[in-house]
Amino acid sequence: MRARSAQYRVVCLAVLALGVCSTLPAWTAVELVRPEETLLALYVLETQIEMETQVLASLGGFYRDNQDERARFFGRLESLYAALEAVLAEPGEDFDADELRRRDQELERLEKAQALAWDEGRRLRQRMLDAKNRLALLRAKVEELIGSLPSATESMTGYWDVVFVPGGQRGVFFLNHSVAILTGEYSLEGGFRGSVQGTLIDQKVVLHRIDSRLGRVMDLDGTLSADGLSIKGVWRRFDLSDGRQSTGAWSATRRPAAGRSSD
């Protein structure tokens, strides 16, 4: 499972508000066929987990404040009880009735405030328990989806950090892998964006880079490593009118956050 456990970590931060309901989204009940669909589901689940964790942390802070408040009420009530009982225990009728009445009224007020604090404590504990239950359900669903992902050598779906030499231009490919077909998008230094199309057959990668403005500008051939975490190969550029290098080497490394850990 650890060999698969990093693939879903392309996922974090966005999408849901703090009012996360206790049930999972309806789409998590359907069968997710393609790895990219599973990654999207994991994205939302991980976002929910992060939000629920933040909610739980906030509730924990409120509950600690509530504990302090209840402790203060307890101390003040204990002191008032002791004072009243001392007055009532004195023999004879020589006591300040107004002071006794005032203390008794203060005692009643504090008892009501303490009851409200106890009610708030119970409410906060229930909300914390609900958040913990939701986190447990979300994490169980994440583990289930992770188990359904193909291994690194079975799928290239995910984010890849790419470097072209000479020149050292860097960028990011996002690839979708279905059977032997590769499709996806890319973003390179210099503001270049577009799509990629190609195939993976017997660890051999062929990609056609299609610029959003210029069309097909480059072909890339490469070999996928045995562990499915890197690609090395050569590129060939079509537009030779500017006198730039027409061929070179390229490499790609699967992002740990979007792929799998190497252990």
Domains of the chain: 7-148 (no CATH), 158-254 (2.40.128.120)
pLDDT range class, residue 88, cuts 50, 70, 90: confident
More confident residue, 126 or 227: 126
- Is the peptide bond between 25 and the residue preceding it cis, with omega within 30 degrees of 0? no
Query: Which of 34-38, 54-58, 63-67 has the lowest average pLDDT?
Result: 34-38
Per-residue pLDDT of 1-30, as tens digits, reads: 434 444 333 333 323 333 333 334 443 434
Is residue 27 exposed (0-12), middle (13-18) or buried (19+ Cβ within 10 Å)? Answer: exposed
Q: Which residues contact 21 (CB under 8 A, 6 or more apart)?
A: none
Among 30-34, 212-216, 239-243, top mean pLDDT goes to 212-216
Burial, 75: exposed, middle or buried (Cβ in 10 Å; 0-12, 13-18, 19+)? exposed
Cβ proximity of 193 and 214 under 8 Å: no
DSSP state of 118: H
Secondary structure of the chain: what % helix, strand, coil (to 5)? 45, 25, 30
pLDDT 10s digits, 156-192: 888 999 999 988 999 999 998 877 889 999 999 988 9
